[in-house]
Structure 1
Amino acid sequence: MSSDQVEIVMVPLPAQGHLNQLLHLSRLISAYGVSVHFASTTTHNRQARIRVQGWNPNTTQNIHFHDFDIPSFPTPPPDPISPNKFPSHLVPSFHAAATHLRHPVAALLRHLSSKAKRVVVIRDSLMASVVQDVASIPNVESYTLRSISAFAMFLMLYNDVVKEKVSQEVLALTNEIVPEDVPSIEGCLSTEFLDFTSSQNEFRSFTSGYLYNTSKVIESAYMDLLAKIVPNKNHWAIGPFHPLSFLEKKTSNDSSHHFCLKWLDKQESNSVIYVSFGTTTTFSDEQIEQLALGLEQSDIKFIWVLREADKGSVFDGEKQMKRYHYQLPKGYEERVEHMGIVMREWAPQLEILGHPSTGAFLSHCGWNSCVESMTMGVPIGAWPMHTDQPRNAVLVTKVLGVGAFVREWTHRDDVAKANRVADEIRKLMASGKIRKRAKDLGGSLRRSMAEGGDSRMELDSFVSYISR
């Protein structure tokens, strides 16, 4: 494909999991020889670039960053004692991007449209208002990235929008393949976030199709259901987006080899549990203490990423970024230094999950983390916190069989006690059935991105469609 035929413009939601997906997708699409323009605020483009793993966007041809300065916006800290764990402190940054990016993005689209046969916008599902001007530019079309699992997306539409309108065929198939006890969205979202999503609704009709960071290897049935309840639109399952291997194989003697990976190099195969709850999770001090003691009591080696949740700007108060607020039990790190690492910095998650010593992933079940863990063949210990995570947890445990609950969503208001955490971790690490299923599924997912695989053919289909 010639770069003067089609230009791609990516418009992400300014939150880490969403920035990450569209930047990884930029890498995949740019490999077809088409120019990709990544358009966001200056702050969030910087965040996306420095945190991406497995490749270097600054040295990748055909990816161009457009840094747009916007007025300052509130960046309140996360609230660890909020009864609702949704990161409402990020919502002001969402509003700021949705409000102030429309005009610079429209100017970029008009500039590109003057020299290209077609301009294709791929925007986050929550950034619809930013690209509303596509309707007035003849050779520009927009596609929506749905950043959650097809399973969670189907349930959201089915239960909250179209359940009374679907055919008997869809009803029967849903009853057959969706577990009965899937949680509702009650308690998953905040009022502030629901108000923001409502502000995007009137602009969502400006889309020519939907992209998903998933594979038919794991979600074929739910992709089929989405096509039935949202007809007359194309749906492409083109994930996993992230790199499946790392170009630079580093040794333990390499100074650039992260210290946690050097530590993993010394551990036995499948002996370590990786613990990370993503970039938006906030725990109470009591829960942190119980989790710490549970890891210690489990006698399982661990890497625990213990960071505060991101603020709307991760660089706000940059000089104080190393100040850390979570307190561990007195003497804890000295007691566990023989069995684990507590990390308070950005962790190389992809490389940790891809390391042969990593035997499981204790996770909040954010979709990026689920896809990364499944692709690397690593079992998931589910501890969902908010948004789509409770439903993702059902998908990986009860549907796909590649994980087990460490803390059930129904107990979200309770503090998970140390002895329960320890018991569930030990059971997960000892489950040969789950480990085999995870390894097999990981192999299938990786093959799906190779030439002739399901996801690769979906990606080929999408690129062919937009270059028609």
Structure 2
Amino acid sequence: MAKRSHIAVISIPAFSHQASIVEFCKRLVEHHDHLHVTCIFPTIDAPLPATLTLLQSLPPNIHCTFLPPISKQDLPQHAPSPVQIQLAVSQSMPSLRHALSSLLSTTSLDALISDPFANESLEVAKVFNLLSYIYFPTSSMTLSLFLHLPTLHQQVPCAYRDHKEAIQLPGCVPIQGRDLPEHFHNRSSLAYDLLLRRCERLSLAQGFLVNSFSELEQGSERALQEYTNRVYLVGPVIQTGSSSDPKESECVRWLEKQRPNSVLYLSFGSGGTLSQQQLSELAFGLELSGHNFLWVLRVPNDTPDAAYVVGSNDDPLRFLPDGFLERTQARGLVVTSWAPQAQILGHASTGGFLTHCGWNSALESIVFGVPMVTWPLFAEQRLNAVLLTEGVRVGLRPKFNENGLAEREDIAQVVQDVMVGEEGNEIRSRIEKLKVAAADALKEDGSSTRALYQFGTQMANFLGQP
């Protein structure tokens, strides 16, 4: 594609999605230097501070713009955060139309790449005769689920969690209904209706760019290519840059004093929260395990994704069991709200990762070769946990009782199994191979780099460029 092309990209007001699509755009222009990208972000109240920080180091051929904010007061106050986010995106569509019209008045615009949860924009792209693609920040297994949901909706007559047979997506490990995203569990809910409509709209896209790589999801990639030959696995797309936050040096200094592979890192992502009871059980489980740990602690909340929409000024440390910090000070470090995850996972002292199974975190763990304790909370995280524990088998899942609580003894046992057990050693061997495969996929002749070039070629063909 000799001609200079301009692509608009739209995400959703969630940092994990925005971070992933920005990193993808950086990789895209690195390999297609004729491309210019404009990233467009809907907002709720105001741009996310973490996103503003992320955008400070963009190359000159990527520009960003924020759509006029949607007031949180105008969204259903008791709706789950994914519903609020999707409704805010829907309300932002007139602003997107205006932004695209303004771009077209000053420059040529060839294509729009959309987050799957902003795919009303595919209809806007059609109005402006733009090519349209979906950037999927999650696994190809999740893409397969979304593409097949309209069919599943007809085939499964009951609530998915009550469906007795495993759900078999082409090329994927079988999934129990209870491990589908929580939006699936109430088929009469607004959350499910919004998701179903978005899945039905995917057929408008000319192709799908997926944040995964062939060696990780060979089966689902093959099945997707049979379903549509316009699927490109272009990952792993992760954040690896350092930060100037003082917590970075604090964490690294502490890790430097620990033995190789001796530390369990615990983080529930940028918005995950545990209940007070579960937080206490986790603390006691860590204490029982006897292992070193670095824990990113957040104020507890009974809503597992509460930190995405409601901040807290409380000190998270005061919610720990009495005496916990004193009893574990020789082998544990607790930091509040945020830690430099890439630096921690890449450190030689880190030997395990207790993760909420957000796809960004899962990929980072694979890239750095760190075995996982999989602790999914919401969204597609249970689906990711199935892939990680039963598909590629690079993690173990704790036991949860009938009330959905992981108890301290079971937590201590799964930590032991991953950190020093025979099963943990086998996991370490498997994830080390995936680590090498992930690095190979990003090389100049790697599968993901080839897919990125194939995407560029296909777009050029659609545009009629030589």
The letter of the residue matching 1:398 is E
Q: Which runs of 5+ in 2 are unaligned?
A: 156-167, 300-304
Q: Given the alignment of the two structures, is residue 206 of structure 1 paired with residue 208 of structure 2, yes or no?
A: no
Q: CA contact under 8 A between 2:273 and 2:307: conserved in structure 1?
A: no
Distance 2:69 2:297 in 1: 31
Distance 1:417 1:312 in 2: 26
Cα distance change of structure 1 residues 235 and 40 upon mapping to structure 2, 3 Å threshold: same
Task: Give the aligned partner of residue 191 of structure 2.
Answer: 193
Q: Given the alignment of the two structures, is residue 344 of structure 1 paired with residue 336 of structure 2, yes or no?
A: yes
- Local SS of the residue matching 1:274: strand
Q: Given the alignment of the two structures, is residue 24 of structure 1 paired with residue 23 of structure 2, yes or no?
A: yes
Q: Which residue of 291, 298, 312 corresponds with 1:307?
A: 298
Distance 1:391 1:175 in 2: 12
What's the CA shift string for 1:214-259, capped at 9, x where partnerless?
0001112201112223x3x51100001125x5589x9xxx978521
Cα distance change of structure 1 residues 75 and 106 upon mapping to structure 2, 3 Å threshold: closer
Q: CA contact under 8 A between 1:7 and 1:112: conserved in structure 2?
A: no
State the shift of 1:281 in Å: 2.5
Between 1 and 2, higher relative CO (CA 8 Å, sep ≥ 6) is seen in 1
- Local SS of the residue matching 1:69: coil
RMSD: 3.2
Distance 1:237 1:91 in 2: 28
Q: How many residues align?
A: 434
Q: Given the alignment of the two structures, is residue 113 of structure 1 paired with residue 104 of structure 2, yes or no?
A: yes
Q: CA contact under 8 A between 2:294 and 2:333: conserved in structure 1?
A: yes
Distance 1:466 1:89 in 2: 34
Distance 2:83 2:147 in 1: 22
Task: Give the aligned partner of residue 443 of structure 1.
Answer: 436
- Local SS of the residue matching 1:386: coil
Q: Which residue of 264, 281, 292 corresponds with 1:290?
A: 281
Task: Give the aligned partner of residue 5 of structure 1.
Answer: 4
Task: Give the aligned partner of residue 228 of structure 1.
Answer: 226
Percent identity over paired residues: 27
TM-score (normalised: structure 1): 0.83
Task: Give the aligned partner of residue 162 of structure 2.
Answer: none
The equivalences for 1:358-369 within 5 A come to: 358-369=350-361
Q: CA contact under 8 A between 2:11 and 2:118: conserved in structure 1?
A: yes
The letter of the residue matching 1:437 is R
The letter of the residue matching 1:91 is V
Task: Give the aligned partner of residue 405 of structure 2.
Answer: 415
Q: Which residue of 428, 438, 442 corresponds with 2:418?
A: 428
Task: Give the aligned partner of residue 170 of structure 1.
Answer: none
Q: Given the alignment of the two structures, is residue 141 of structure 1 paired with residue 142 of structure 2, yes or no?
A: no
- Local SS of the residue matching 1:239: coil
What's the CA shift string for 1:278-326, capped at 9, x where partnerless?
2343322111100001011111111111224555557x7xxx6465487
State the shift of 1:416 in Å: 1.1
Task: Give the aligned partner of residue 378 of structure 1.
Answer: 370
Cα distance change of structure 1 residues 459 and 112 upon mapping to structure 2, 3 Å threshold: same
Q: Given the alignment of the two structures, is residue 267 of structure 1 paired with residue 258 of structure 2, yes or no?
A: yes
Q: CA contact under 8 A between 1:78 and 1:282: conserved in structure 2?
A: no
Q: CA contact under 8 A between 2:353 and 2:373: conserved in structure 1?
A: yes
Task: Give the aligned partner of residue 51 of structure 2.
Answer: 49
The letter of the residue matching 1:436 is S
Distance 2:52 2:100 in 1: 26
- Local SS of the residue matching 2:412: helix
Q: Which residue of 66, 82, 95 corresponds with 2:87?
A: 95
Cα distance change of structure 1 residues 313 and 293 upon mapping to structure 2, 3 Å threshold: closer
Cα distance change of structure 1 residues 175 and 151 upon mapping to structure 2, 3 Å threshold: closer
Task: Give the aligned partner of residue 161 of structure 2.
Answer: none
Cα distance change of structure 1 residues 351 and 75 upon mapping to structure 2, 3 Å threshold: farther
The equivalences for 1:148-227 within 5 A come to: 148-158=138-148, 161=151, 178-180=172-174, 182-185=176-179, 188-189=182-183, 191-200=189-198, 203-227=201-225
The letter of the residue matching 1:455 is S
Q: CA contact under 8 A between 1:384 and 1:390: conserved in structure 2?
A: yes
State the shift of 1:30 in Å: 2.4
The letter of the residue matching 1:336 is T
Segment drifting more, 155-164 vs 18-27: 155-164
Distance 2:411 2:77 in 1: 24
- Local SS of the residue matching 2:235: coil
State the shift of 1:199 in Å: 5.0
The letter of the residue matching 1:358 is T
Distance 1:247 1:366 in 2: 20
The equivalences for 1:392-403 within 5 A come to: 392-403=384-395
What's the CA shift string for 1:122-160, capped at 9, x where partnerless?
11111112442211213x111012232112332454476
The equivalences for 1:57-72 within 5 A come to: 57-72=56-71
Q: Which residue of 448, 451, 461 corresponds with 1:455?
A: 448
Distance 1:465 1:176 in 2: 25
